[in-house]
Amino acid sequence: MQCKRGRLDRLLAKHFQLPRKQVRLLLLTHQVSVDGTIVTDMDFQVDEFMHVACQGQKISGDCPRYYMLNKPVGVVSATIDDEHQTVLELLPAALRDGLHIVGRLDLNTSGMILLTNDSRWSEALMTPNAHVAKRYQVTLKHPVTVEYQRAFQAGMYFNFEDITTLPAQLIIHSGHQVEVILREGKYHQIKRMFGHFRNQVLALHRSQIGALVLDPALAPSQWRALTPQEVAGARVSLTGDDHQIASKFDG
Ligand code: URA
């Protein structure tokens, strides 16, 4: 999702369907304000959250909104779908406008989905270079061994994309119950990593993205708004260990 940033004169021209000459006149005659300050500069840059007004009438300026949601299995990580209910449809219709999904999950994966209208925030969280950690609970058909841990840590070669996965942490709770911490998001990544050992993922659940932990009070299909502290701190990684691993990538 690209950040919606652009020139003020273009926004005005599009909104009023005016030629640039007339837009220039509006600006030069002090009729346009951005966040309450008169702006006369044609090149002025605005984003979707700046309050632009002309002759006192609001033209644009959304409030940034951020939600976490507990996606159930069977609901699709999309904004529109012909076949399945979408994560967006779990929110009241009045809140849906302008929201996009931050980090999709497969149809049969449950857990944390983030939704926002702030594309700069979602880009910062999901840009591949940020290596923001994502934590998953995994139930497996066959018991795992320490061999898996070594392979996850070393990175696994994916033939189709011709890439080697970044080091991933595998925490073994019992033979069939593990946690995986990824710092990237390749297509069906966890299922493919266990598939390498011919082991089937029976259940997959995401419990954490960066510093944001799925609120245990949220039953499947429930959602809540993020607090300002959660919004500000989301990109911070999981643990001290994680910082070491992340700095290895960044360096
Ligand atoms: N890995 C998968 O295989 N599926 C997901 O939904 C997320 C990570």
List domains and CATH numbers for the chain. Answer: 5-60 (3.10.290.10), 66-250 (3.30.2350.10)
Contact yes or no for 107/159 (Cβ under 8 A): no
Contact yes or no for 170/180 (Cβ under 8 A): yes
Beta carbon of 181 within 6 Å of any ligand 1 atom: no
Ligand 1, residue 109: give the atom nearest the CA. 6
- What is the pLDDT, as a whole number, of residue 4? 67
CA distance linking residue 77 with residue 80, whole number of Å: 9
Whether the predicted pLDDT of 107 surpasses 60: yes
CA distance linking residue 98 with residue 52, whole number of Å: 18
- What is the pLDDT, as a whole number, of residue 40? 94
- What is the pLDDT, as a whole number, of residue 249? 38
Local confidence band at 105 (pLDDT 50, 70, 90 cut-offs) = very high
Of 33-42, 143-152, 190-199, the least confident: 33-42
- What is the pLDDT, as a whole number, of residue 235? 77
Q: How far is the CA of 138 from the centre of ligand 1 (A)?
A: 10
Beta carbon of 104 within 6 Å of any ligand 1 atom: no
pTM score of the predicted model: 0.80
